[in-house]
Amino acid sequence: MNEETLNMEVRKFLKKVGVTAQREIEHAIYKAVEAGELTGNESLQVSMTLDLPDLNLSHKIDGSISLE
């Protein structure tokens, strides 16, 4: 196994996850504010699950996003 290749591949995957997740979260929040479902000063609970089925790994990450 090449550690440098592993590191670069993991970083590339995480960058894709981060960019995609941010875009989806922001889109959902803007849509909810426009629809009147949010006022824009809430704190939203959020979670993400990392699954790596080939290694039987499932890891949930919890957090919150404050809008103000």
The partner residues of 59 in beta bridges, in order of sequence, read 50
β-partners of residue 46 are 63
CA distance 17 to 37: 26
Taking the whole predicted model, whether its pTM rises above 0.75 is answered as yes
Over residues 20-51, the pLDDT tens digits come to 999 999 999 999 999 999 999 999 999 999 99
Rounded-to-integer distance, Cα 49 and Cα 65, Å: 16
Nearest of 61, 67, 63, 60 to residue 39 by alpha carbon:
67
